[in-house]
Amino acid sequence: MKFFLDTANLKEIREVAGWGILDGVTTNPSLAAKENAKFEDLIRDICAVCPGPVSAECVSEKAEDIIPEARALAKIASNIAVKIPVNLEGLKATKILSGEGIAVNMTLIFSPTQALLAAKAGAKFVSPFIGRLDDISQDGMELVREITQIFENYRFDCEIIVASVRHPRHIVDAALLGADICTIPFSVIDKLVRHPLTDAGIEKFLKDWGKVKK
C-alpha cells in the first residue's frame, strides 16, 4: 500500500519524507487555506520535497474552465495530479485531460457509480471519502470494498486513494481490502508506529541492559 500525506503543510511533508515512507501528497482548498503561501508557490515547493504524485485541486466548475486550469496546474511540476470533483462537468474535463496524458485524481467520491464513471473517463486515481461517510452513519469502508471489486472485475488501471482517513483502523481495513493508496493526515500517520507495549518493552530492555556485565 502506498502512503500519501493529506496536507499542504511543508513541515509535515518534510518530516514524513524523512521517515522514508512517503509516496505522495494530496492537498485540497481547505488544506491550502491553512498555509500562509501563494497556492502555486506552495504546490511547487511540495513537489520539490515529494517526488511522488502531488494532488492540486481545480476550483473551476465548468468543463471549459476546468480544462485550462488543470493544464496550468499540470505545468507546475511533472509529478502533479490534478484533482477534479466528480460531477458531469468534471467527467467531461477528465476525459479530455486524461487523453492529453495529465494525471487526474477524481475527488469527492461517495458512491461506486461515481468511481466507475471516473475510471471510464480515464482518471488515474479516485478518492472515496471514507470518514465523511462514517460521519453520517454510512459505511465508508464498504464503498472501498465495492470500488475495489468493480475495478478488479474490469481491470481498470485506476488507483484507489482511500481519503478522509480519521484513525489507524481505517488504514488497516483499507490494507485488508487491498486498496492501492491511503492518504493520511499527519495526526494519524504519526500514530501508526506507536504502541504502549513497544515503549514499555524498550524501557525494560534498556533498564536490564544496565545490569548486564560488559
The C-alpha cell of 168 is what? 489507524
For the beta carbon of residue 59, count every other beta carbon within 10 angstroms.
13
Beta carbon of residue 122, minimum distance to ligand E4P (angstroms, whole number): 19
Residue of 3, 39, 110, 129 that binds ligand E4P (CB under 6 A) = 129
Region from 33-41, 44-52, 66-74, 127-135 binding ligand E4P, contact rule CB under 6 A: 127-135
Region from 42-50, 85-93, 126-134, 189-197 binding ligand E4P, contact rule CB under 6 A: 126-134
Rule CB under 6 A: say whether 107 interacts with ligand E4P.
Answer: yes
Residue 2 burial by Cβ neighbours in a 10 Å radius (0-12, 13-18, 19+):
middle
For residue 182, list its beta bridge partners.
3, 162
- Name residue, grid cell 509516496: 23
Is 105 or 153 the residue whose CB approaches ligand E4P more closely?
Answer: 105
What's the maximum distance between 2 C-alpha atoms anywhere in the chain? 75
End-to-end CA distance of the chain: 43
State the binding string over 24-63 for ligand E4P (x if CB under 6 A, else -).
--x-x-----------------------------------
Is 67 or 165 the residue whose CB approaches ligand E4P more closely?
Answer: 165
For residue 206, the Cα-to-chain-centroid distance in whole angstroms is 38
**Count of residues in contact with ligand E4P, rule CB under 6 A:** 11
Beta carbon of residue 150, minimum distance to ligand E4P (angstroms, whole number): 20
Q: Which of 34, 62, 83, 120 is catalytic?
A: 83
Rule CB under 6 A: say whether 132 interacts with ligand E4P.
Answer: yes
Rule CB under 6 A: say whether 127 interacts with ligand E4P.
Answer: yes
Asked about 83 being catalytic, the answer comes back as yes
For residue 42, the Cα-to-chain-centroid distance in whole angstroms is 17
Q: Exposure pattern of 115-140 as b/e (b: 16+ CB <10 Å)?
A: bbbbbebbbbbbbbbbbebbeeeeeb
Beta carbon of residue 107, minimum distance to ligand E4P (angstroms, whole number): 6
Angle subtended at Cα 208 by Cα 204 and Cα 210, rounded to the nearest 5 degrees: 125
What residues act catalytically?
83
Residues found near ligand E4P in the complex (CB under 6 A): 6, 26, 28, 107, 127, 129, 131-132, 163-164, 183
